[in-house]
Amino acid sequence: MPQTYLVTVSGPDRIGVGAELFAALDRVVARGGHLADVGQITIRGALVLCGEVTVPDEITEADVRHAVSLSDIERDGITATVELVTVSDESSGSRLLVTVLAKTVGPHQLNDVFSAFARVGATCERIVHLATYPVDCYELVVRSADHAALREQVTRAAKNNGLDVAIQRAGLHRRAKHLVVMDADSTLLQDEVIDLLAEECNCAEAVAAITERAMAGELDFAESLRERVALLAGLDASVLDTVRAKLRLTPGARTLLRTLQRLGYVPAVVSGGFVEVLAPLLRELQVDYLEANELEIVDGKLTGRLSAPIVDRAAKARALQRFAAQVGVPLEQTVAVGDGANDIDMISVAGLGIAFNAKPVVREHADAALSVPYLDAVLYFLGISREEIEAD
């Protein structure tokens, strides 16, 4: 029966040690073995580098040790070991990516997350520190045979420790082209556009009350939108320019869009807001895909009606699917980000649905939730590190 050996090199990192280890492993492979796995971590110049080789049973441990020739590696404080390992059933299962983030992530929080892994028999194979500011973020590669149990335990640990968490399948698809669809109001933007319009129409309180009930899922979005737009009847269309000038992007929004575009991902906006306000802004931001409502304007005045079918929660999901087909990416490579009840269908149909500072009803339907105020934190759920973000 084939045997597996783990060769571990540790100590102060130095130039050439990796080449020396792989030369040693190559000598083992030349005797009929094969390289099964490799791993490395370096923290503050302290190195741990491992190589796992599997050899036929006729090759003994002494043969492996002789081929590796540890004396060629052990100098300048470096030590090396060869260990026969047993691959047990505990390492079975497929890999998941668990991303955790918060303003700060400490050992107590990580202890609870790793304890959750242990309770379901999962093991962590790799830890990557994606960011230290403006949030602290870790990506963990976890092997688990029971994904549902892992999700339940990790989600509970995250909630108890104030962590945002995403759990998704591992694989090369994460670095393939993605479509990232965002809501506008209270997601890409800090503002609710209709509330700004209402201020110009002196009906802010009435509109805000309807908006809050709709976003909490207490009112049908389409009907609530009609009611709010009706209150704007008679408003001069020039006010749209005034409102557009007042819009404030969410912190991190420009960074998110710039990074997505630089890495070949496609951003899009699907909104219950209004084309007349959003389209010029998105042209400035070089976002080519937009689905939103259209205000009816006659003789330079808002009529209080909409001139096209309403973009409600079902229409948002259809728009995401249509954009994915146009861009040429499968649904599993789409991301939806939103905060309100009318985003639920879009979040549910996407490959990764993210609730951004969202109402509880939205968080319940999302794959991941962000409670930090920075929209570019979405990038960490795509495995993009702060270093990559700042590369431009």
Strands 46-55 and 3-12, sheet pairing: antiparallel
User: What stretches of the chain adopt beta strand conformation (E)?
Assistant: 3-12, 34-43, 46-55, 79-85, 94-102, 123-131, 136-144, 164-169, 179-182, 266-274, 289-293, 295-298, 301-306, 334-338, 352-356, 368-370
Q: Using CA atoms in the order 212, 228, 192, 238, what is the torsion angle rounded to 10 degrees?
A: -170
* 185 classed as catalytic: yes
In degrees and rounded to multiples of 5, residue 358 shows phi and psi of -100, 165
Q: Is 110 helix (H, G, I), strand (E, B) or coil?
A: helix
Q: Is 29 helix (H, G, I), strand (E, B) or coil?
A: helix
Q: Measured between alpha carbons, how far is 336 from 267 in angstroms, rounded to an integer?
A: 10
Q: List the catalytic residue out of 13, 136, 185, 339.
A: 185
Q: Is 62 helix (H, G, I), strand (E, B) or coil?
A: helix
In degrees and rounded to multiples of 5, residue 237 shows phi and psi of -65, -20
If you count DSSP H runs as helices and E runs as strands, how many of each does the chain have, helices first?
Answer: 14, 16
Residue 367: which of 349, 380, 353, 385 has the closest Cα?
353
Neighbours of 96 (CB within 10 A): 19
**231-257 burial string, b = 16+ CB within 10 Å, else e?**
bbeebeeebbeebbeebebbebbebbb
Q: List the catalytic residue out of 13, 183, 312, 339.
A: 183
Q: Two tokens at 257? A: 């869009």
Specify whether the backbone of 295 is left (phi greater than 0), alpha (psi in -120 to 50) or beta.
Answer: beta
Residues labelled as active-site residues: 183, 185
